[in-house]
Amino acid sequence: MRTGDETVIFPEGPDKPPVIVEALCSGEAICVKKCPYKVIRIVNLPEELESDTSHRYSVNGFKLFRLPIPKDGQVLGLIGPNGVGKTTAVRILAGELSPNLGRFDDPPEWDEIITAYRGSELQPFFEKIQAGSLVPILKPQNITDLPKVKDLADRPISDLLESSDSSGRLNELKDDMSLNEIWDRPIKFLSGGELQRVAVTAAIVREGDIYFFDEPTAYLDVRERLRMARAIRKLSSLGKTVVVVEHDLSILDYVSDLVCMFYGDPGVYGIVSHPHGTRVGVNIFLDGFIPDENMRFRDTAISFKGMTADDEEYLSREAMVEYGDMKKSFEDFTLEIKGSRVSKGQIVGILGANGIGKTTFVRMLAGDLEPDEGEAPKKTVTGLELKISYKPQYIPADFEGSLRMYLRAAGGNTIDSADFRTSVINRLGLENLMDHMVPDLSGGELQRAAIAACLAREADIYLFDEPSAFLDIEQRLVSSRAIRRHVRNNMKTAFIVEHSILMADYLSDSLVVFGGIPGRSGSASSVRTLRNGMNTFLKEMGVTFRRDPQTGRPRVNKDGSKLDQQQKASGEYYYVGKV
């Protein structure tokens, strides 16, 4: 216990954030208990890490330990939750940010930094970046600022891309990235997904030596993600070095040769793991335990069942609801839906491009939109009134009140039950946000709040439209797990729109697959088995998946590999056989 010396001081006055004098802090976290705003976190770290500090933003600010090391001619994938320093590391390696080795008040010069990394592969790396003999190209995480850049907003994308094309790769990429339809459109009119495709293309077509892609599949649909992964792989086949930050595990698995994990306490500190080969790295990540560092960073392992023919089992289960064929037309868009029957405990994934009618389908099931032909189900097969709980894609944040009030308005006393608290509220990391006002929540917090509210409602069918949007990989895994558990245990039914193949596999036992032309016409299949639905979808994409023998998770085959050729020849695009 400290007396006399002040461990917590208020240099800017009592109503401004305090500074904790870390050298005096006993680590007993007295101030954490005293702080009325729950803003102080005290974290004790192994002392040997201190010498590995690569960057610190400010006093008591976020601290990054170690750095990932890019390997010549290979793709290094970076994975981890938000707020543990992935972007910081990328900006350092791309030469945008000088690592201060923790000395934010007295930052070292470059020669000192290079000396600090003596003996590591980072020493020659930084030397080359400084000398300009290694040219870095960066696709930043945040692309929504692009249209705000003066002189850029009004220019058509063709203008921007042609002036970036120092490599001559643009022509080839135009088709792969579906840029033809938006070729003359000014940047300021682009949607999130279109902007992402333009930003990634602009990076790939510039001639450089090492390419950084910070979250390149954000805003992209499942088809676009696979195409993006191919384009990045192609860059590596030209001998370029690549670093990719990615939250879609199927895509990370596909593009990477090596994987580094980031773990720590979001916003407080982050540690970079040693690199692992991709298969092992992703398995370690799902397992939540890094054996060579004896480090557990998640208390539960994420396991895949490794589908067998039993995935057709639900067909024999008790039916929940049946719906007939439906049609809906808007001014420029027509949608046709094949009728189906779903069982109790069944979880249906919905897979398809953007603008193909997924939300329209879900809204019709929700009773939010009337079909022009056919009818949305109103009753269960046993004739009871059908109760539906719906999480829309765009979540209104206009609720006037705290998160607790928001969840109570949805689920009443359910939210106080021990089971709901542990398996939903705590799992989704909402317990410390319960008294926050809903309009103040961030995108990811609001998404998790809406998922919890949807599950809190008593219903027969749960509808989730893109529940992974704005969530990091860790949150995607835990929210998928919470949804799966809740729906299965209570023998309910769910429909979930999902763009990650791995997550769709983890979540669902069956699929509705959309085909058609985005923005013009769409058609939804009946509810198929996972295997059948994936096969149809992947065949159209020309991509095959196998299963990892150890974990049963799906893995993309590299284009033209032996397995890829074999599976294409036998028409088994999604291998589900016994593992």
- Distance of alpha carbon 110 from alpha carbon 118, whole angstroms: 12
Give yes or no for residue 261 binding ligand ADP (CB under 6 A): no
State the number of binding residues for ligand ADP (CB under 6 A): 23
Which of 136, 275, 357, 554 contacts ligand ADP by CB under 6 A? 357
Q: Which of residues 425-484 bind Mg ion (CB under 5 A)?
A: none
- Distance of alpha carbon 114 from alpha carbon 122, whole angstroms: 8
- Distance of alpha carbon 240 from alpha carbon 96, whole angstroms: 19
Nearer to ligand ADP (CB atom), residue 90 or residue 425: 90
Closest distance of CB 120 from Mg ion, Å: 24
* DSSP H or E segment with residue 360: helix 358-365
- Distance of alpha carbon 77 from alpha carbon 258, whole angstroms: 6
The residue range among 36-44, 235-243, 348-356, 375-383 that interacts with ligand ADP, by the rule CB under 6 A, is 348-356
DSSP state of 207: -
Closest distance of CB 226 from ligand ADP, Å: 16
Closest distance of CB 459 from Mg ion, Å: 35
Binding mask 66-105 for ligand ADP (x = CB under 6 A): ----------------xxxxxxx-----------------
The residue range among 68-76, 193-201, 325-333, 456-464 that interacts with ligand ADP, by the rule CB under 6 A, is 325-333
The first and second tokens of residue 522, run together, are 């769409």
333 touches, from Mg ion, ligand ADP, none (C-beta below 5 to 8 Å by class): ligand ADP
- Distance of alpha carbon 335 from alpha carbon 514, whole angstroms: 10
Number of H helices, E strands in the chain: 18, 26
Q: DSSP assignment of 208-260, as one string?
A: -SEEEEESTTTT--HHHHHHHHHHHHHHHHTT-EEEEE-S-HHHHHHH-SEEE
Which of 7, 74, 130, 141 contacts Mg ion by CB under 5 A? 141
Nearer to ligand ADP (CB atom), residue 161 or residue 348: 348
- Distance of alpha carbon 197 from alpha carbon 221, whole angstroms: 11
- The answer to whether 546 and 382 are in contact (CB under 8 A) is no
DSSP state of 180: G
Nearer to ligand ADP (CB atom), residue 41 or residue 421: 41
Give yes or no for residue 392 binding ligand ADP (CB under 6 A): no
Give yes or no for residue 354 binding Mg ion (CB under 5 A): no
Which of 324, 339, 515, 519 contacts ligand ADP by CB under 6 A? 519
Give yes or no for residue 355 binding ligand ADP (CB under 6 A): yes
Closest distance of CB 186 from ligand ADP, Å: 19
Nearer to ligand ADP (CB atom), residue 110 or residue 330: 330
360 touches, from ligand ADP, Mg ion, none (C-beta below 5 to 8 Å by class): ligand ADP
The first and second tokens of residue 311, run together, are 């995935």
Closest distance of CB 266 from ligand ADP, Å: 7
DSSP SS3 for 70: coil
Binding mask 218-257 for ligand ADP (x = CB under 6 A): ----------------------------------------
In which residue are the tokens 């868009």 written?
333
CA distances from 449 to 302, 478, 507 (A): 22, 13, 19
256 touches, from ligand ADP, Mg ion, none (C-beta below 5 to 8 Å by class): none
Closest distance of CB 395 from ligand ADP, Å: 15
The residue range among 136-144, 344-352, 411-419, 458-466 that interacts with Mg ion, by the rule CB under 5 A, is 136-144
- The answer to whether 519 and 467 are in contact (CB under 8 A) is no
Give yes or no for residue 100 binding Mg ion (CB under 5 A): no
**219: number of CA atoms within 13 Å, CB side?**
17
Give yes or no for residue 167 binding Mg ion (CB under 5 A): no
Residue from 215, 263, 214, 207 nearest 235 by CA: 207
Give yes or no for residue 444 binding ligand ADP (CB under 6 A): no
The residue range among 38-46, 327-335, 485-493, 558-566 that interacts with ligand ADP, by the rule CB under 6 A, is 327-335
- Distance of alpha carbon 352 from alpha carbon 523, whole angstroms: 10
Phi, psi at 66, each rounded to 5°: 65, 175
Amino acid identity, position 425: I
Give yes or no for residue 87 binding Mg ion (CB under 5 A): yes
161 touches, from ligand ADP, Mg ion, none (C-beta below 5 to 8 Å by class): none
Query: b/e per residue, 81-107, with b = 16+ CB within 10 A?
Result: bbbbbbbbbbbbbbbeebbbbbeeeee
Binding site for ligand ADP (CB under 6 A): 57, 61-62, 82-88, 267, 330-331, 333, 352, 354-360, 519
Binding interface with Mg ion (CB under 5 A): 86-87, 141
